[in-house]
Amino acid sequence: GEGARIFQPLGVASLSVLVFYSVSGGPFGIEGAVQAGGFLFALLGFVVFPLIWGVPEALMTAELGSAFPEASGGVAWVEEAFGKKAGFFAGYTTWISGATDNAIYPVLFLEYLLQHIFGNDDAFQGMNRLLRFLLLSSTSIILAYLNYLGLEIVGNMSIIICIVSISPFVIMCIIGIPKVDPSRWIQFPDEDSSTTGDELEASGWFPLISTWGVLWRPLLNNLFW
């Protein structure tokens, strides 16, 4: 009736966090970006990339989301423009992308956790395979169950996860303030920069492209996510 309030399972904070994690992998990956691009190009990337990618994407989403107020999101936009077959294909590939992407985060979380506990980058790879499988599977099952419980609890848990994941970076920034040296911000990377680590591996179908000492593939990949 008139004056009745519409129940909104998501508040401004929880919705903002969900939108953030829908388009961003969070603060993880900053180290890889700096290692691949050096201080100057990493800082330029963090300043410029949101303007050339994030702002246009946000404007497009705001316009199309208002024009097509449907839960299917981008699938509805593709279906309207190119037909049902294209819409189905867009929905299917989005589902595949989401399933694959979501499988990555428990691995990243466990890898970061073990690195900080044992102080060893190889702790995750050296773990017993069965134990690693059980830890990753249990994490995925818990997160899937939270999604099953409903949107409200997903929003609340997203806020908690956001605080937990970002707080170490906030603490490190505060601790590092006395050691800030602005002269290092404009340094070009070393031409003979190290390429250790899987994300900087030069082999594969798409070998690394190095210009001015910048490893562009891992740099752009980290900036994008």
Is 197 part of any domain? no
What is the b/e burial string over 174-183, where b = at least 16 CB atoms within 10 angstroms of the residue's CB? Answer: eeeeeeeeee
Instruction: Report, in angstroms and rounded to the nearest whole number, the Rg of the chain calculated over CA atoms.
Output: 21
Output the pLDDT for position 139.
82
How much is the pTM? Answer: 0.64
Give the mean pLDDT per block of 10 residues along the chain (225 residues). Answer: 60 82 73 83 89 88 87 88 93 87 77 73 71 84 83 84 84 88 80 51 55 79 80
Which tokens sit at 121?
């980058």
Is 184 part of any domain? no
Which tokens sit at 59?
């404007």
The number of distinct structural domains making up the chain is 1
Other Cβ atoms less than 10 A from the Cβ of 118: the count is 13
List of residues 6+ apart from 206 with CB closer than 8 A = 217
Output the pLDDT for position 101.
75
Q: Please give the residue range of the domain that contains residue 61.
A: 28-176+206-224
Output the pLDDT for position 11.
80
Is 59 part of any domain? yes
Dihedral (CA of 135, 154, 57, 185) sign: negative
Specify which residues 214 forms β-bridges with.
211
Strand, coil or helix: 215: strand
Is 99 part of any domain? yes
